[in-house]
Chain A
Amino acid sequence: MFEISVNGKTTTADVEPDTPLLWVLRDTLHLTGTKFGCGVSACGACTVHIDGDPVRSCSIAIEDVVGSDITTIEGLAENTLTAVQLAWIEEQVPQCGYCQSGMIMSVSAFLKENPNPTDDDIDASITNICRCGTYPRIRKAIHNAAKKQGGQ
């Protein structure tokens, strides 16, 4: 039995210690906004924040996140949408939308570290896969969100 903190709430999960956080979120806590895409940390669809850092939750075990603050897409915005989410709507980014939880989580953490990124910074840091090919809009939305947050 593990006790973890997700989106500000403490909760328990009766799973094996090596169970990836992704599956605890999805199958135990029914927080399905975090997506399974590859299971090998290659696509980024499962990205969540652990103590503020972007982490691919398919590749981190539940036993390694006890005592950490975990934030999922469901807990990203408190009441109103964040600048990143608003920029995603303004630029009409999502197509199928499946990768976008992970994209938004990756970008949100990235912009905290680098509030005024160049295109090269974006290329180096945001390596998630979008099979629909929304990349041109993701790039625009990142710059838009940076501007909204006062970075540009």
Chain B
Amino acid sequence: MGKFKLTRRKFLVAGALAGGGLAIGYGFKTDDPDNAALSASTSEGEIALNAWIKIDTKGIVTVAIPRSEMGQGIYTALAMLVAEELDADFETIRVEQAPIDDVYANVTVLQDALPFSDKFHDGEDTIGAAGMANVAGLLGVQATGGSTSVRDAWIPMRQAGATAKSMLVTAAARTWKVSPDECSVENGVISHSRTNKSGGFGEFVIKAASETVPLSNNLKNQDNYKLIGKPVYRLDIPEKVNGAAVFGIDITLPDMAYAAVKLCPVFGGKVASYEEKAVVELPGVLKVVAFETGVAVIADSFWRAKTAVENLPVIFESGEAVSTSSDQIIDLLTQSVGNDDARTYSEIGDATSALSSAPNKITATYTVPYLAHACLEPMNCTAKVTETGVEVWMPNQAPTLVKWFAEKIADVPAENIKVHTTLLGGGFGRRAEIDLVLMAVTIAKSLKNRPVKLVWTRENDIQHDMYRPAAVSQFHAALGADGKIEAWKNRIVSQSVSGSFTARLIPWATMDVPDNTTSEGAADIPYEFTNRLVDHVPVTLPIPVGFWRSVGHSYNGFFTESFMDEAAFAAKQDPIEFRLAHLRDNQDFTAVLQKAKEVSNWSSPLPAGKGRGVALHESFGSIVAQVAEVSVDDEKVVTIDKVYCVIDCGTVVNPDTVVAQMEGGIIFGLSAALFGEITIENGQVVNENFPDYDMIRLANAPEIETFLAPSGRRLGGVGEPGTPPIAPAVTNAIFAATGDRVRTLPLTKSGYSA
């Protein structure tokens, strides 16, 4: 392991943690100065007042963003939190990617993802959750995922703004020889009205740096917000309309070389032999480098590297996965429903007994396939290895993991590792993985002192993803004489994402521990049943699975909300009224569902061939209801005419961003529901590129109308919660339109097209 010093315990925790995504600040340090890492990046005339804020003598405020911008608008939302409490002029706000430092660790992600984190019980106030916060802080893992970024930054980044303001005001007051209490701040200007003095942040920042003030806990009441809750133009958009935005794949460095790879098509296979001499004479080729799972060609341009690697004869040893197919896997998952080794995630009353004696029972089994992330920016990582250090440029969701693994491969002192997180051309969980950094540093190590940019082709990406697992879910319900569900039994069968991810981080670790992601969105549904049993059968397979936007919710949302719809039909009740009846005192859910009913004009008649479907689902702390209106013609062509979406994410920071994330989450879920399916034969992925792994485009993208219904409940995330409800809303609408109940995704499997 060389200089790789992480302990087994730390890695186990880190692996499990990364499950839901990592992102949020641990908060201010109490021991050493928290602005040390940021101070190292200040330019002339610029002062780091704390770990999040730099201000220059002209009054330009730079906010260090410790999370990755992958399209979710986090640069802007986190800058708003700081600017709100700083009372800065938002026009003077700039953002930059924060360095890697413990102060930026994401605690919320760990709280959500770790086994026994109490997530399904009482939320973040429990002893388990508080303990996890401490563990997360000690780990210091910086990561973006699990829709946690704003939740995690909500306190520390507002405190950063308020504390910096206090430093500036104290400095101004000392200069003016007045009391700080008599000073006010508005739009980046500090004023003392009695003496008619005023000045900008830039005038006082140098003095402010030497002021010692207590950490400010005096945060604004929401009635006093000037920015939070108001639509703000995103800071990253101007450079995204003129080609100036720099994604990882755009990194250009002096003397840079390019690498392309040929990877073993069968999961778990290895390189047996290759004929280097077949390509070394090709134009621009610099080097051929073999590693365990493939061979790279380094050349002076990507096209030359790719051309050469395609011409490189490689023989692979396939390994045991070669006999695996996705059809067999679905059969295995279906058979495993009957296993007796299920792990219980939610148990109320005695569902088994209640079902055995119930006269009116329904049952159904649902299936979903493997899915790829297909970020539009193909996977890439640039690395430069020297004798003493390594520098990495990478669009990634977990810079701390990138740093750890660059250290491991390059075998250099930890202090000589530098990681640059660029803009991400999509993330969706794929970029929390470490495969690209392992590969890029391994390749760059063979060409020391030159930066090497590794770029995967789309085919590499589709065939070597860490997939959303295939899953099967079986339900049994007993309907009582009152038309309500008396007993609900739900068994899910799938691989464990957290287990698969952890095994990639620590290959020698074997873990069979609870994984909340397997049953999230099933074990924690809001409906009240007298008897409820939700369990999960873990299955181990040689297909790598990973965190795919909304993770377990992506399939459990479809399963549970489809079966609720089937139960409503069996009970001869309206789908919304049936759900409302099972929400009882659950006011937050009731309010969202009622709003969806109202805005979608739910009770109005639709012509023949059209139908409306509803789904209600909570994930990552936010409640979302969606109503889909669909048309189905005689040829089974489905048109999604309109989607109504209502979200309660507690408090809204940038309303337009919340709307954008609902739109994006819905379309992401629709691509999966309509077309998404990774097919495996002989242990390898059959799909290659977009023509056989299709996406929604303008022509089949629905009109979407989003309504924000923030109740003031605990802050929720927005990056993922838009995705889970759309598949069941659509299949429930197809049922309403046609009477055909779709229990298998994608819809193309049932003969539908879009």
- Please report A residues at the B interface, Cβ cutoff 8 Å: 15-16, 19-20, 23, 26-28, 30-40, 42-43, 45, 72-74, 76-77, 81, 85, 88-89, 92-101, 104, 122-124, 126-139
Pick the contact of B302: A23, A31, A123 (CB < 8 A): A23
Number of residue pairs across A and B with beta carbons under 8 Å? 179
Choose from B241, B665, B695 the contact partner of A88 (Cβ within 8 Å): B241
Can you pick out 12 interface pairs between chain A and chain B where the beta carbons lie within 8 Å of each other?
A: A16-B283, A23-B303, A28-B301, A30-B252, A35-B247, A35-B425, A39-B689, A72-B243, A97-B236, A97-B237, A97-B240, A131-B374
Give the residues in chain A near B72, CB-CB below 8 Å. Answer: 95
Q: Are A129 and B699 in contact (CB under 8 A)?
A: no
Q: Which of B573-598 contact A (CB under 8 A)?
A: none
A12 to B363, CA, bound (A): 68
CB contacts (< 8 Å) of A40 on chain B: these are 458, 689-691
Q: Give the Cβ gap from B664 to chain A, nearest Cβ, in Å.
A: 4
A95 and B376 contact, Cβ closer than 8 Å, known pairs A28-B301, A129-B697: no
A16–B458 CA distance with the chains assembled, in angstroms = 22
Q: Is the CB of B303 within 8 A of A131?
A: no
17 more A-B contacts (CB under 8 A) besides A76-B242, A92-B660, A131-B428? A27-B258, A27-B302, A28-B301, A30-B252, A33-B243, A37-B377, A73-B242, A95-B73, A96-B70, A97-B239, A100-B240, A123-B698, A123-B699, A131-B695, A133-B664, A139-B698, A139-B701
> If A39-B458, A73-B242, A98-B377 touch, does A92 touch B233 (CB 8 Å cutoff)?
yes
Residue in B301, B377, B664, B668 whose CB lies within 8 Å of A35: B377
Q: Which residues of B contact A (CB under 8 A)?
A: 69-73, 233-234, 236-247, 249-250, 252, 258, 283, 301-304, 307, 374-378, 423-428, 455, 457-458, 656, 660, 663-668, 671, 689-691, 695-699, 701, 703-704
Name the A residues within 8 Å of B244 (CB-CB): 33, 74
Q: Known: A40-B690, A133-B665. Is A92-B656 also a contact (CB below 8 A)?
A: yes
Does B301 lie within 8 Å of A15, measured CB to CB?
yes
Known pairs A85-B241, A131-B374; A137 contacts B660 (CB<8 A): yes
> Nearest CB to that of B669 among chain A residues?
A133
A27 to chain B, nearest CB (A): 4
The chain B residue sitting closest to A45, CB to CB, is: B376
Partner of A81, one of B234, B242, B301, B664: B242
B697's closest neighbor in chain A, by CB?
A: A127
A19:B458 contact, CB within 8 angstroms:
no
* Complex Cα gap A99–B375 (Å): 10
* Chain A residues with CB under 8 A of B699: 123-124, 127
Instruction: State A95–B657 Cα separation when bound (angstroms).
Output: 9
**In this complex, what residue of A is CB-closest to B691?**
A42
Residues of chain B contacted by A99 (CB below 8 angstroms): 376
A139→B663 CA distance, assembly (Å): 13
Query: Across chains A and B, which 8 residue pairs bring their CB atoms closest together, nearest first?
Result: A33-B243, A133-B667, A98-B425, A97-B240, A96-B71, A95-B71, A73-B243, A135-B701
Given contacts A37-B378, A43-B376, contact A94 B241 (CB under 8 A): yes
* Contact indicator A97/B245 (Cβ below 8 Å): yes
CA distance A132 to B722 in the complex (A): 12
- Measured between alpha carbons, how far is A124 from B656 in the docked complex, in Å? 28
A84 to chain B: closest CB distance in Å?
Answer: 8
B420 to chain A, nearest CB (A): 15
Contact B238 A77 (CB under 8 A): no
Given contacts A89-B237, A129-B690, contact A96 B425 (CB under 8 A): yes
Nearest A residue to B705 via CB reads A136
Q: Are A96 and B242 in contact, with the CB atoms below 8 A?
A: no
Residues in chain A near residue B243, CB distance under 8 A: 31-34, 72-74, 101
Chain A residue contacts of B304, Cβ below 8 A: 16
Chain B residues with CB under 8 A of A132: 71, 376, 426, 664, 667-668
Q: Which residues of B contact A134 (CB under 8 A)?
A: 660, 663-664
B701: chain A residues at CB < 8 Å are 133, 135-136, 139
Residues of B within 8 A of A98 (CB): 247, 375-377, 425-426
